[in-house]
Amino acid sequence: MSNGPLSDLHAAVLEAATTLADAPPRSSPTLERPKQADFGDLSTNAAMLLAPLLKASPRDVAGRLGDELSGRLGEQLTRVEVAGPGFLNLFLGDAWFVEALRHVIDAGPEWGGGGATAVEKVDVEFVSANPTGPMHIGHARNAAYGDALSRILAFHGHEVEREFYVNDFGSQVRRFAESIRARRLGEEIPEGGYQGDYVKELVGLDDGEISLDEVGRRAVDEMVARTKASLAHFRVSTDVWFSERSLHPEKVEHAFSVLEAQGNTYRHEGALWCRTTDFGDDKDRVLVRSTGEHTYFASDIAYHQDKRERGFDRLVDVWGADHHGYIQRMKAAYAALGGDPETLELLIMQFVNLPKGKMSKRAGNIVTLDDLVEEIGVDATRWYLLQRSHDTTIELDLDLASRKTAENPVYYVQYAHARIQAVLDKAGRTQADAGFADRSLPLESGERALIMKLLAFPAEVAEASDRRAPHRIATYALELAQEFTAFYRDCRVVGSEVEDFRVALSITAQRTIARALDLLGVDAPHSM
């Protein structure tokens, strides 16, 4: 399907280029908004790609391409211009912009969505914080990212399942229980135990009569309940809560048999090993220790085998930066199971640094997700954590982020949305009035720029989805808000001769801002 006027235009450029060269160019030509206004509305590098094929100078090819394109597009194209090393700059007519806006209006609130060419069933596993402590700032970033990515993938047209893996099995749960019991009895916390104040809050779960196993179960249940509440408050939803304990013993044994059937396990020094080195790992990994205990890795393999059998086209795991060394072995193990490692994406969230000291789970003074939300609010927290690429470490300046003023771009974007509402209220219009009569007067540059920005939305969504990059949406939302504000400054809406047109433009801008914010899980208020 068409992603709108821009992709139609891009297709026209590609066709014209293909006609000229009798073959498509090696790489797809660009069609972008140039930085300078006098370079036209859009610019393509097609001629420079074609020049080697035609054995002609790029500027010469650009001239021929311009003629070809003018013939195809007629009055939509006011004029073309060859520039620089061989760019072809396109100057589009008002009629093109008016039709383009009509297309956006007709698309309604779904504008920008559904563009995925190959729809995939995707599992997104994120946060998966250990149920032995509260979620900290790193989990907050992971949660915001995984949630926004899920929203974006779904909006783009994929079928998404969101999943949280609960590590409710193994030695850490026992240590957790031991820590609680020790706390209850006033004894010293055991080596490698848990010390935070939250442990003290849990001593009531242990009446002294029940087994340590039971203490562990109750404590984990309580921590999971708290995690669910924190995430819900952070506007993060989860479809599946997958218990590690539920893997034992059947699913783990099943995974072992799958590996064994592929000939990828062996026994050595009393332990059971997985031959991950055959699949790119730098050493083989233990599945069952010589003591008979399963490793964490055994659980993870069983978990991924289970996901495999649930029939996804793609598995996405969002992990913390301290797990990056785990990627190679996990992919290797997935291949050893017979899976296609290309369909297993292991994404790493880089750290969030606090100006003073770093977060440490077992230290007493940690900044939790709940603290963050209480301090600076859901909207600002999500925006702050999502505005940067997941593979760069970010600094969190609590003072700055918490100021509800101009320093934080999220309020600027929300303000633009609220301001549009004020304009619509003043005009006595609603979202239902999006349609408009034909526009006769020439368009102002602010109108053209805003329409062009709206048209860019589907490509931004596609980019954010394909590259797992929610921060692109944040950047886009800010730019769109700026573009609307410029339009608002220069073009009177209420009472203008072209009020219908400008109301329609305002409505589409408001919808698109609201959609972009929603993809980030940020509210779009009608007033502030």
Partner RNA sequence: GCGCCCGUAGCUCAGUGGAUAGAGCGCUUGCCUCCGGAGCAAGAGGUCGUUGGUUCGACUCCAACCGGGCGCGCCA
Instruction: Report 148-207 residues binding RNA (CB under 7 A).
Output: 167, 169-172
What does the alpha-carbon distance between residue 468 and residue 472 come to, in Å, rounded to a whole number?
Answer: 9
The interface with RNA within residues 99-158 (CB under 7 A) comprises 130
Residues 249-278 that bind RNA (CB under 7 A): 268-271
Q: Tokens representing 143? A: 């949660």
Q: Report how far residue 99's alpha carbon sits from residue 304's, in angstroms, rounded to the nearest whole number.
A: 49
Partners of residue 243 on adjacent β-strands: 166
Distance CA 470, CA 236 (A): 15
CB of 107 or CB of 302, closer to RNA: 302
- Rounded least distance, CB 179 to RNA, Å: 14
Rule CB under 7 A: choose which of 93, 389, 433, 500 binds RNA.
389
Give the DSSP letter of residue 187.
Answer: P
358 scored as a contact of RNA (CB under 7 A):
yes
If residue 418 lies in a helix (H) or strand (E), which one and from where to where? Answer: helix 409-427
User: Taking a C-beta distance cutoff of 8 angstroms, is the pair 224, 166 a contact?
Assistant: yes
Cis before 5? omega within 30: no
CB of 388 to RNA, least distance (A): 4
Contact segment (CB under 7 A) with RNA among 6-14, 44-52, 115-123, 335-343 equals 44-52
Confirm or reject binding of residue 387 to RNA (CB under 7 A): yes
Burial class (CB in 10 A: 0-12, 13-18, 19+), 497: exposed
Encoding tokens for residue 467?
A: 């590259």
Taking the C-alpha atoms of 473, 478, 482 and 484 in order, what is their torsion angle to the nearest 10 degrees?
50
* Region near RNA per CB under 7 A, out of 13-21, 214-222, 361-369, 389-397: 389-397
Phi, psi of 265 (to 5 degrees): -125, 160
Place of tokens 């068409």: 2
Quick one: angle between helices 94-107 and 499-519, nearest 10?
50
> Of the two residues 103 and 403, which places its CB atom closer to RNA in the complex?
403
Q: Which is nearer to RNA, 7 or 475 (CB)?
A: 475
423 binds RNA (CB under 7 A): yes
Comparison of 109 and 377: residue with beta carbon closer to RNA? 377
Interface stretch with RNA, choices 66-74, 335-343, 432-440, 520-528 (CB under 7 A): 520-528
Give min distance, CB of 186 to RNA, in A. Answer: 26
Interactions with RNA, residue window 220-239 (CB under 7 A): none
CB 504 within 8 A of CB 101: yes
Q: Which residue in 210, 354, 394, 398 binds RNA (CB under 7 A)?
A: 394
Q: Which part of the chain contacts RNA (CB under 7 A), choosing from 334-342, 368-376, 387-395, 451-459?
A: 387-395
Let me know: does 134 contact 198? Beta carbons within 8 Å. Answer: yes
Which tokens in the block code for residue 359? 């977060």
Can residue 5 be called a binding residue for RNA (CB under 7 A)?
Answer: no
Binding of residue 55 to RNA (CB under 7 A): no
Under rule CB under 7 A, residue 343 binds RNA: no
Q: Does 405 bind RNA (CB under 7 A)?
A: yes
Pick the piece of the chain touching RNA (CB under 7 A) from 37-45, 66-74, 98-106, 512-520.
Answer: 37-45
Which residues on adjacent β-strands are paired with residue 394?
Answer: 352
Q: How far apart (Å, rounded) are the C-alpha atoms in residues 170 and 302?
A: 15
Binding-site size, RNA (CB under 7 A): 94
CA–CA distance, 202 with 48 (Å, rounded to integer): 68
Give the separation between CA 290 and CA 129, rounded to whole angstroms. Answer: 28
Q: Which is nearer to RNA, 96 or 319 (CB)?
A: 319
Give the Cα separation of 203 and 130 in Å (integer).
19
Q: Is 421 in the site for RNA (CB under 7 A)?
A: yes
> Segment 455-474, which members bind RNA (CB under 7 A)?
467, 469, 471-472
| Residue 296 found at the interface with RNA (CB under 7 A) | yes
Does 528 sit near RNA (CB under 7 A)?
yes
When binding is defined by CB under 7 A, the residue of 4, 5, 58, 115 that contacts RNA is 58
Residue 85 or 263: which CB sits closer to RNA?
85
